């Protein structure tokens, strides 16, 4: 599965994307955040603050309870600021 | 194509001229243009870089357009959003709507920019004399978008 | 001059380009443009003539601008209204507002065109294949203007 | 005093403007409408329909009770339709 990071989360994690082998026990976006947080302490730090880390599964906004079954790409980013 | 992401300068006035050329069925055209400001929060802005999420961006913008067309009788919609590095005074975004009805054009234009600000994956990085900083999301933007929820 | 009555064709996109040139203090620009429609009430429009009341027109438009500036924090306002005979697709009116705040620019633009429609002394005469007819005032316009009363 | 007519009122009255010597008993916009109606039957006809004839005194919208003392120009016209 491809994981992508944007804006200052990319700087915190130190990379824009990575390929991971999804462990069987990681079933939701929330599980994935926790699992990635163990690998990237500064990502865990950002996730600890409410509402600061948003997620998208295959280009659709997703909440923590969103299942990952069948997903190809999950992205994490701060609240958007375009326009 | 009525929704575009461009990675270099664009001319919103030429876009609007083309949008209206030969248009005789919809007399009301509303537009919103966002320009890079030269100052923010008391600090001078030297440049602004717009990062985005290719693929998701186009999908979200197309969805915004679909939603606007479902809510208002629109003859046409145009959304152009620039990404990459740009300078103060340069256009970042253009939203334009055309309708036979003035209220529809104006409301749909406000809706599109309000939703774009909270639902399209763009992030602004400002360059100031004291360094770079990511722009914080504003709660006013969430409130502005919330008024269109139903 | 930010309020103008013109008796020949004008280019709203060139007007907007000039309005925004070098603008770095107010990042939000909203506009409304009215174009002559090619059809109205099921009849083809061959041409439209805008009559107005010179002297009173400029006074009312200037008053609209003053009122808009009193209600919203606007960096700039532009109103251009054409009079005389014009053809389908040609611009009749342009209203533009610039502000540091998106909501202010959008709301003031809607306010200006709503008020202009009911408070500025312009009258439309349509030429159709079956003859000339004066356009009737619409109750929707009165209602649209009434929401800004306070 | 100068009287002006616009749009289809001008066509009804058959002229765009006229100079009149204001009689002493014509004190308000409403009085003036009645007095002009006696000279122009089709103007009287238009005034008989509610809300169809609007007035301005010296470039300011005016209701029927508006006094004419000191006024230089009074205009009559249908509801506006610009923009």
Q: Are A22 and A36 in contact (CB under 8 A)?
A: no
Fold of C2-146: Aldehyde Oxidoreductase; domain 3 (3.90.1170)
Among chain C, residues having any CB pair with chain D shorter than 8 Å are 34, 50-53, 55-56, 59-60, 81, 92-93, 113, 116-125, 134-137
Q: Please write the tens of the pLDDT for every residue from D40-74.
A: 999 999 999 888 999 999 999 999 999 999 999 99
Nearest Cβ partner for B27 among C28, C35, C140: C35
Chain B residue numbers touching C92 (CB-CB < 8 A): 27
Orientation of helix B102-119 relative to helix B139-146, angle to 10°: 140
For chain B, first and last CA: distance in Å? 28
Tell me the backbone φ, ψ of residue D64, rounded to 5 degrees: -60, -30
Rounded to two decimals, the pTM is: 0.95
Nearest CA to CA, how far is B96 from chain A (Å)? 13
| Pair of tokens at residue C127 | 């030429």
Domain ranges for chain B: 2-146
| Pair of tokens at residue C108 | 């003031």
Rounded distance between C-alpha atoms, residue C136 and residue C124, angstroms: 8
Query: What's the pLDDT at C110?
Result: 98
| Pair of tokens at residue B128 | 């100031």
DSSP symbol at D78: P
Q: Are D74 and C50 in contact (CB under 8 A)?
A: no
User: For all residues of chain D together, what is the average pLDDT?
Assistant: 96
Tell me the backbone φ, ψ of residue C55, rounded to 5 degrees: 100, -60
Q: Do C53 and D75 touch (CB under 8 A)?
A: yes
Max intra-chain CA distance, chain A: 39
Rounded distance between C-alpha atoms, residue B42 and residue C64, angstroms: 32
Q: Please write the tens of the pLDDT for every residue from C53-68.
A: 999 999 999 999 999 9
Nearest CA to CA, how far is C39 from chain D (Å)? 17
Rounded distance between C-alpha atoms, residue A10 and residue B17, angstroms: 39
Give yes or no for residue C92 having a pLDDT over 90. yes
Give yes or no for residue C1 having a pLDDT over 90. no
Q: Do C37 and B27 touch (CB under 8 A)?
A: yes
Q: Where are the alpha helices (DSSP H) in A1-83?
A: 7-13, 29-39, 41-48
| Region for residue D14 given its phi and psi (left: phi exceeds 0; alpha: psi -120 to 50; beta: otherwise) | left
CA atoms within 13 A on the CB side of B143: 5
The pairing of beta strand A2-5 with beta strand A73-77: parallel
Query: 């009149």: which residue's tokens?
Result: D20
Domains of chain D: 2-77 (3.10.20.30)
3-class DSSP state of D36: helix
On whether any CB of chain C is under 8 Å from the CB of D83, the answer is yes
Chain C residue numbers touching D81 (CB-CB < 8 A): 117, 122-124, 134-137
Mean pLDDT of B80-100: 97
Predicted-complex ipTM score: 0.93
């Amino acid at each position: 599965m491809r994981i992508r990071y944007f804006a200052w989360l990319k700087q915190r994690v130190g990379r824009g994307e990575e390929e991971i082998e999804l462990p069987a026990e990681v079933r939701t976006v929330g599980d994935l955040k926790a699992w990635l947080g163990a690998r990237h302490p500064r990502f865990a730090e950002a996730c600890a603050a409410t509402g600061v880390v948003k997620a998208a599964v295959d280009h659709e906004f997703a909440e923590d309870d969103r299942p990952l079954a069948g997903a190809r790409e999950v992205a994490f980013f701060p609240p958007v600021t375009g326009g | 194509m009525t929704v575009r992401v461009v990675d270099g300068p664009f001319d919103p006035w030429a876009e609007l001229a083309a949008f209206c050329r030969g248009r005789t069925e919809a007399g009301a055209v509303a537009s919103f243009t966002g320009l890079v400001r030269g100052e923010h929060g008391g600090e001078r802005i030297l440049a602004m870089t717009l990062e985005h999420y290719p693929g998701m961006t186009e999908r979200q913008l197309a969805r915004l357009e679909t939603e606007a067309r479902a809510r208002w009788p629109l003859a046409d919609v145009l959304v152009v959003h620039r990404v990459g590095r740009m300078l103060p005074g340069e256009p970042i975004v253009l939203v334009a709507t055309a309708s036979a009805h003035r209220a529809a054009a104006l409301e749909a234009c406000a809706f599109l920019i309000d939703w774009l600000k909270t639902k399209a994956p763009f992030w602004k990085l400002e360059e100031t004399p004291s360094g770079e900083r990511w722009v914080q999301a504003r709660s006013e933007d969430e409130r502005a978008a919330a008024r269109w929820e139903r």
